[in-house]
Amino acid sequence: MTMTGPHDRPPVPAGTGPTPQDRPFQVETHGLDVISESERKGSPRTLFWPWFGANVSVFGLSYGAFALGFGISFTQALIASVIGIVFSFLLCGFVAVAGKRGSAPTMVLSRAAYGVRGNRLPSALSWILTVGWETVLVALASLATATVFDRLGWGGGTGTKVVALILVGVLTVVGGVMGFDLIMRLQTLITVVTGVLTLVYVALVAGHVHADAVTAIPDGSTQDFIGALVFMMTGFGLGWVNAAADYSRYLPRSSSGAGVIGWTTFGASVAPLLLTVFGLLLAGSSKQLSEAVAADPIGALTTILPTWFLVPFAVVAVLGLVGGAVLDIYSSGLALLSAGLRVPRPLAALIDGVLMIAGSVYIVFIADDFLGPFMGFLTTLGVPVAGWCGIVLADLLLRRHDYDEADLYRPRGRYGDIPALPLLLTLAATALGWGLVTNASADWLTWQGYLLGPFGLGGKDGSWAHANLGILAALALGFLGTLVLGRHRVRGQETSDAYVEAG
């Protein structure tokens, strides 16, 4: 018999849960359980606030320098950014539909494709990815604060970094531990404040844009263009797909699926699109600024600001990064539970917070370079996550009925315990993907790219070495493999008369 706790329990029958109400200062008790009918609330348009608030960070400006760093022109970088951002967040929108259909966290709904215990593998990967992202965001907030204090002459040394790290870390952990209602309130506030101050920043530094310098940047190769496009995908939407249903699960089942997709994609994409385009203009106008961004992605942006706006800039930078980190720590706690840890959700978020702060200490005080390890982290974990995303999207596409809620928690239920197909597809997609990417900027990842030579792509030093084809290959293999080989399995799960009637 499988034991369940309050963090991993079968769904509560509709009408037996508490009356729905906003409780922003009460710790959320929901863990991996299905949200009861009485607690589902809102409409698809409410998804705009958490997704916009999590992606309005001025960190988006730095992606302009990252994209041009692939050796491509402004036009190429612009096209790569638009396609990469919108397409990757569209994937999030599709995954979010599963949330409103199943009213459970993303990594619980993933059990329909992977089985109840087989899903622990992608849950562990999801946990590592989200902890990594929240660590990066908190570290960047600390570095940005120190840079601002240094420019103001208030001291930007070790003491400032320590205090900034503690304050940002505590704010992030509190949001993650408190849960959904506080996060929704916090994201609305962050959206308004950062949105206004970011527009002020753009107005203040617009004079640093030089059209002649931007248009003079020569075109890069097709391979470099694809590399930039894939990097934008992994840096934006593919970093969120494993958490995309964690907020739509609170919507009523009757909510429009098209609305969920549209508001998720729009809310998540609009700020990164505008910020990245302006970041491209800034980076393309100054090679010095572009290079500085690699070492301190946000702090470097203060070098072109008037002194009087440095404190407001610190506010917008920190709030924007915290907005993303709070969503990450909330979802990382859920992923940790889904991976098998049996503790209450708030404690899982607290555990992740401790790891987040430890990782941030390494980035802030020990690491010499930010961009190299960051790109290595995104690409390496982006491969298996892309494979998982393809499998889950194909599984969702094949389903004609809502999920059997109880069987999401029963190893002997219709979804199975450890089915072979999704696990083998994940391993195959990961092996294929890692063989088609390179990470020369991170010494500990130079073993990747082992298929570039055998596939006739020029090897690790060839023209395709930095195109990051492995991300696209893993996504395609996971999706097409499940669509072709998993159809019979899904049909078998949905043939039960009782299930059809319930659906």
- pLDDT confidence of residue 199: 87
CA 61-65-66 angle, 5° bins: 100
From the first residue on, what is the mean pLDDT of each consecutive set of 10 residues in the chain (503 residues)?
Answer: 37 35 59 84 90 83 91 96 97 95 92 96 91 86 84 82 88 78 75 83 92 95 95 91 90 94 96 93 91 79 87 84 82 88 85 88 77 72 94 95 91 94 97 91 82 94 91 97 95 69 41
Q: Which residues contact residue 353 at a Cβ distance below 8 angstroms, ignoring those fewer than 6 apart?
A: 169, 172, 173, 176, 177, 329
Number of neighbouring beta carbons within 10 Å of residue 3: 6
Q: How much is the pLDDT for 322?
A: 82
pLDDT of residue 500: 43
Length of the chain: 503
Rounded CA separation 138/257 (Å): 33
Tell me if 388 sits within 8 A of 128, measured CB to CB: no
The pLDDT of residue 313 is 85
Name the DSSP class of 15: T
Give 299's Cβ-side CA count (13 Å radius): 23
User: What is the three-class DSSP state of 400?
Assistant: coil
Q: How far apart are CA 388 and CA 430, in angstroms?
A: 9
Question: How many Å apart are CA 376 and CA 366, to the nearest integer?
Answer: 17
Task: Say how far apart CA 229 and CA 232 lie, in whole Å.
Answer: 5
* Rounded CA separation 113/141 (Å): 37
Whole-number pLDDT of residue 302: 85
Residue 347 has a pLDDT of: 87
Do the beta carbons of residue 180 and residue 49 sit within 8 Å? no
Q: Structure tokens of 129? A: 């990815």
So what CATH class is 42-373? mainly alpha
Rg (CA), the chain: 22
Report which residue type is found at 266.
F
pLDDT of residue 188: 77
392: its two tokens: 């889950």
Domain segments of the chain: what residues? 42-373
Say if CB 266 and CB 89 are below 8 A apart: no
Q: Quickly list H helices, 210-309.
A: 211-215, 222-235, 245-248, 257-285, 287-295
What HEC string does 169-210 produce?
HHHHHHHHHHCHHHHHHHHHHHHHHHHHHHHHHHHHHHHHCC
Q: Structure pTM?
A: 0.84
